Structure formats: C-alpha cells, structure tokens
Structure 1
C-alpha cells in the first residue's frame, strides 16, 4: 500500500513568533532598504504586482523542481518561458517589467535567457541597419530562437585562440563555416542543445588565406519547419550538469556549412563582394554582448547568495537547540557566535556584491554608447 501524501499549505500557517521577534527588532527601516534594493518605491510596487500574478500560477511553483529529472526541468523551463512571453504580450509589459519578472521573481529558471540577454542585444549592436531590419523583428517576436556561440571545448575567454573558421568563397559569395578540430566545437552555450534555431557564431574570418580576426556570423542551426539540424550541422545537449539542468547547454560541430556573405554581422566590419575586408569600428566593439552578460552574472550571483543567506538566517532564527543559560530554555541557534560567523559574512558579501553590481551596470551603460560608436573607451588592450 502506498504511503499517504500530505500537502501542507505554508501560507495558511501562522508566522513563527521567533521570526516575528527578530523582524520587529530590526535597527533599520526595512521598507527603506527594500526600496534601495529595488531601485525605488515605484519599482517595489510594480515588482509586488508582478509577483502576485506570477506566483499565483502553478507553473511557477518551485515545490517539485528538485524531484524532476533533467528533461523534466527543461520542459518546465520551456513552459515558464512561453507563459512569460504570453503575459508580456497580453499585459503590454515593458522591458523593465520583463526584467523584474525574470530576474527578481522567476530566478532565471526559464529556457530563453540567452536568446533575450545575448542574441537580441547582439542583433541590436553588432549588425548593419539592413541586418537589424531583417533579423531583429523575427527574434523579438520569437519567430526564431537564438543563442550566442562563443565558447569552444578548447577555449572560452581566450578569444584570440578560438578555432572555428569562416572562410570566404569568392566564387559563391559565401562563408564556409568549420570547426576543424575536436577542441574547435562550440561547447556550453545555453539554448544550443535543444531550443535554438539560429546562433551568432564567433569565428576567425579567413579571406584568401589571411586571418582577418574574430567576427560574428548568423548561422541557421535547425529547420524552421521541423527543427531538424541543417546540412553540415551536428548539434545537441551536453548532458547533465551539477546544477542549472533546466538550461539546454549544447555543443555545435560545423562541417563545410555555407552561409551567405551577408550573414556576417557587419556593424563593426565589412566584407565586400570581391572579398575586401574593412574594419569600420574598433574590433573591441564585438565584445559588448559578452561584457553585458559578465555584468549580469554579478546580479545573478547576488540573487543566488541572497536566497541562500535568507533561508539559512530564517532557519537559524526559528531553530532552537541547547542552552547558553542553564536556567533558561533552549536558545535560537542564531544566538551562537559560531552560527553568526557563518551567516553574517555571507550576508555582508551579498550586499557588497549587490552594490558592486550596480556600479558595474552603471559603468556598462555609460560606456556602451561609446563602444557602439567604435570608441573602445575603458576597455583594456
């Protein structure tokens, strides 16, 4: 006979009096701190409105996530992504609303993060006007789903040593894309394993045997009719990971994949019909997309640490064990110095990372217009 299943409605339970006591004894204005962290009272108000909508939907319950296998976590993330996009259109959410929904509420557990945070920004910043008009509406309306394929099995941030090649064929006016060695395969991009139809691929541009440097290329990975890989494309999921299994991190192998010359993103450099290469802006301008994600990672790290610290601190406030005063009752474990030594530095680090992240966002937003214009600004050589 199967064991009975008991469902507990946590919202119906009274708040633990120890937790109430700790909150009431705060030496600062909690509401004021909340506004600082959110960015102001209006953003706090809007966040709570979105929170009420999203957390009332069973699709966004995290109760069973840890019991799902990798495939189940991915399916759940896709379902969440579709629902968020539907709500964005239905309720006319702004980009700030979508950011609040995905970053502050949904904790990024959805399937098109790279499409939104890397693929679309790359199309906005690295393309010519004609290319933006062609591809950006398709991406914004999710007619195509994209990823950003930079990292390879052999190299990641060492951009100069990336091995994927895009060789110009003057006879056909095409680029021939190849990952010539096992270390050349693209490895790890989120959304590559199952979701993406297209990728912005970072590759070494080769013209008449000369390496013209790293350039971004738009490559169609899968058919828009049945989602099968395009000719010359081998693509798939890299398998289970220690965490983030809702993300379909993938691999990409290309063997003589031909793309039109116009599929090189030509906002910062140009290749003419007769194979003449011209650098229009600083080659550092191509780094803006990955820089943006590096900034976002500090925000994600802060959110993850904040969740862990919050859970541990609340537990330490309500858990009682052993005695400090033999004449008294068992004490909250948060009153033990050894417990405080574990919690408080992590809490301080969370606030430190948060305000550092704010500075990084401000610096990025300040430098981005200069970078788009071709001025490398504060970027190192």
Structure 2
C-alpha cells in the first residue's frame, strides 16, 4: 500500500455513501470470521478507536501489543483512526492485526465486534456494545480488564468526560501520583508495560539514497500536530526560529563530523543552516527510516519524539506549554522552560494564543540554545562511549 506523504497527504474523509458501504463490508467480514460454530467456537475480534495524533497512536500501539500478549495473541483487532494509512505500520507488526479503517465508521461497526475500546489520553470500553456473554464464557481476562478500567474511572470520570479540555489538569494530578503518559493506559487496564520499542519496518537504503551514513547524522524537526487549526503562523509549543538557528550553528561547530538533517511535513518552517533539508520531501515511512538510523533527534514535544522512542533513538526535547513530567521519556534530555510553561488546555486556544497574554510565548522563548546544545553533546558523547549493540537496532527491511 502506498504511504501518504508526511504532513501533506490527503486526509481520508469518506462520503456518507462510502461510509455506509464500508460498514456493510466490515459487518459481513466480521460475521463470516466470528459467528460460525456456536458461542464457544467464535473468534474474538475487537476494535480500537484512536483519537489524537501520531504520538497517541504509538502509545496505543504499545498497549495493544501488550494486550495481545495477555490474550496469548489469540484475538484479532481492527484500528480506527482519522488517517489510517499513516499509523498502519505501527499496528501491522502486532500479531492479530487485521486492518486500519477510517474513524468515520467506528460507531456504526462497533456492534459487530466482541468488544471495542476508545483510546486517547485515557482508555475506556464501549460498554453498550460488549458481548459480555461470550467474554465471560471464553475470555474472562477481558472482563477483569473492564473491571480494572472501571475501578480507575470512578475517580477520574470528570476528566474523561471533558477530554481534551481538562487534559492538562489531569496530567498535573497524575504526575503527583508518579504516572507517565506513555505507561498510563497500561496502568488503567492493569496490563504490564512491555517497553517503548516496536519492531517497525525501516528501510536501511533510504538514508543511503540521501548520502547519509547510519549513526553519523542527527535529525531536527520543527513541526506540530496537523489537526490543530491555527490562526497564527506558529503555535505556542513551537521553538522560536532564532533558537533553532543558534542551536544548529553551535552543534555544527562542536560536531562537524555529524550531518544535520531536517525532517517534517507541511507545518513548520525550514531551519537555516541545516546540512540536508528533507522537509516535505519524504513519505512518512521514509522519514521513519531516516529517524531510525539517526544518532540523535532534536524536537519540540511532538509525535516524532514518541516515534524516536519506539525506534530506540534518544531525543533532546524542548518543552513549553505541555507538561514535561507527563510527556517526557526518561532516556531523553527533556528541557523545561525557564519561565512559565505547562499551560496546555488551560484555555481552548492554548496552541494558538499564549494563555498568559504574551504576544510571543514566554515559555518556549525562555529556552536557551546553549542548553539545547549542551544536552545534545552530552547524549552524543554518552552514545559514542557506549554504543548500542547491533541486536538492539530496529530490524531493517529491504527497499521496494
């Protein structure tokens, strides 16, 4: 299947007639796969509706990987998302995966599954469509997971009901309890966390085609979630361009042996001074292959940071309005703003307009390029002195 271009491929918003036809097709396939042979012989097929962005999808892919392990990889599942082609590679490596489907048909097809999940910053079961009789008799583990979720949900239901407008307030509460974004869904369901890594397919030939040697370049990204409709040119979480320029210049001076490569799609800007600008020039799968072979990634808090963690690539991450304790991975260098910060979802327009009233966000503006450079050089030096074993590298696949 041809992948959409990173950041500029068309979104798949089907017409109503197309949705109806798709629902009919899915219903027939589910009935054929799961209904023959009586209750005990039926195959368990469930669905997951993901709301959010790229980072959310990666976190949820890890959840489904570990859910499938808990179920002995005996179930099958479909994934519903607004851009199904983009996230299909995250889930296709998990045993039991069937297909990624446009989110528009989720609520129409949910009654045909054994159970369905709604996953974002939280994970909940779609109770009205659960086949309790089948699950009690054949897969009581799922009933226990439902009990775990409902037990947690009692204390946080107001945050779930208001998602995403109270996400920032919930994160403040969660971090005081020692929780992290990348493991919280597992904790809600009571599933052991199996780690950040997923065996995503990467093409080792992609960096070579662009004159890059594995481990001898770093990637930078100036971008954000395409789903936010902004009135301004740059959102509050974007690093000031001058800070990017200064950081790139100082890193090049300190490590002239490394090539600096810019990744990204249609949102964001070109960073002057990079050695190779691949922004808007790659498919998402190609961008994944470039990132997978990078020595280090530099970014604001974005989906590519989650992708880097999934590939085993460390990042220097500049935080502004989002919560560093909630979103930060411990292996990364997570740079806090020197002033203000952590105001996400304090207003509905937090991505567009500084909630504190500043014309230019003071949080990202307070980050010093020197701190970025020092953090990058420290991570690079640590990697040079303790290189990852070959067996720990994401398995490449040959180019097509």
TM-score by length of 2: 0.27
Name the one with the larger helix percent. Answer: 1
Q: Which has the higher contact order (CA 8 A, sep 6+)?
A: 2
Instruction: Return the index of the structure with the highest Cα Rg.
Output: 1
